[in-house]
Amino acid sequence: MSPLMKRLLRRGRRLASAALLGAGLMGLAGMAQAQASQDLLQVYAQARAADPRLAQAQALRGVQQQSTAQARAALLPQWNLELAASRQPGGAHQQQLSSRISQALFDLSRLREWDAESRLLSAEEAQLQAAEQALCARVASAYFGVLSAQAALRNAQANEAAFAAQVGQAQKRFEAGLSAAVDVEQARTYHQLSRGSSLQAQEALEDARAALAEITGQAPADLQGLSPALQAQPPQPASREAWVEQALRQNPAVRAEALRLQASEDRMAASRAAHLPSLSLGVDSQRLQGAAVPASLEGRNEHTVALRLSIPLLAGGATQAQSRRAVYQRDAQRELLEQARRALQRETQAQYQAVLLSAQLLDSTAAAVQAANEALAATRAGQALGTRSMTDLLLAIQSQTAAQGAHEQARHRHVLATVLLQQAAGQLSEASLATVNQLLQAPGKASGAKENS
């Protein structure tokens, strides 16, 4: 083999090695970017560990658990020990050790109070479930709020870049004598306005990221966006009335209010039962020691077993006032339940309609993007031939950007409306977020605004 051929082979091997190394580095960079980006489930895990609203709901449930335990303790055996020491004027002293064990046999007021506290515990558990579902909805809203703000910023920056290019082209055409100075000034006007839109979009993105950080307690990383292959999914079941009925039956927040109403009725029964007699069984023990104690009683244990019947006769009107207060509390809670039911019915209907409209918007905005792309291409060709003005071209660029932005917003709105409809119906859970998470992909692959070329 000639020396020239050997040199060519060595150079080819070096080029091949460099190409493989470059491809490997690009692959590693892509993998690092995918690993650095966060999906919806990762953000939800951060929020679940740090969200103060969820922690507050958990703490309130703990408070009610202890209140229920206290109400139950009043129905269990009670045991008290008492030690008393006294000294008489002559110097003789006496010590008395007393023990009292009692067990309520019939106390309807305390029993109804325990029922009320038990229902309130169930209400707090339902409220905790509502807080968990609300956290899922808030995380999804903040997550897609960031994605929408990012899409708006991309569109604004693409619009600004396109108008900047038009300023350069208009300047060249003016210098060549192919257009008037007004075309240059008009292109500059659109460019400056687009810069303002970019600044506003950047501010909106910072606020959206801050809203997500408020839930998770930390600044969000790059978020995975929606896949371009998103398909509109109509609500199932298709009947709006079926969704409303399911929401009224399963929504945990409304169920919590219904349980609080039952608890207020139990409290009303407890206040009325305060007029009734109560019966308890008691065992009393006593032991006396000291010089002042007769010899026949010193060191002797005395035990008494008794049934005690307590009949309330007069309490200065406090019992009647408690009964009236319990009635007012029951009435107020009943109105709160009705208010919650009406609000839930309206919210369910609104989210159902939002799912339907967003599905239609997906189709219409997709068609608008395609039409705007074709219109922009035709306008560029017409300007080159002299049949279209600079104003026509600038408006075509603006229309294409608006169509792309509307399509991105429709995509995010459709997914979010589906999540909020599930929340209203009491179906939202981490599994629902996992379903949405399957629609995401890494930032480098996510669909963004196309350049206005």
- Distance between CA atoms of residues 388 and 390, nearest Å: 7
Q: How far apart are CA 133 and CA 255, in angstroms?
A: 14
CA atoms of 146 and 211, how far apart (whole Å) = 9
CA distance linking residue 111 with residue 72, whole number of Å = 8
pLDDT score for 169: 77
Q: What is the pTM of this model?
A: 0.81
Which CATH code for domain 38-81+108-278+343-441?
A: 1.20.1600.10
- Residue 30's pLDDT is 45
450 with 374: CB under 8 angstroms? no
What is the model's pLDDT at position 14?
56
Determine the pLDDT at residue 329: 94
State the burial class of residue 72 (Cβ atoms within 10 Å of its Cβ: 0-12, 13-18, 19+): middle
**Which residue ranges of the chain lie beneath pLDDT 50?**
1, 4-5, 8-9, 12, 15-16, 18-35, 446-451, 453
Distances (CA, A) of 350 to 233, 339, 359: 17, 17, 14
Question: What is the model's pLDDT at position 215?
Answer: 94
User: What pLDDT, on a 0 to 100 scale, did the predictor assign at position 3?
Assistant: 52
pLDDT at 8: 40
CA dist 148 and 358 (Å) reads: 14
Euclidean distance between CA atoms 104 and 85, whole angstroms: 30
Name which of 429, 420, 426 is nearest 351 in CA terms.
420
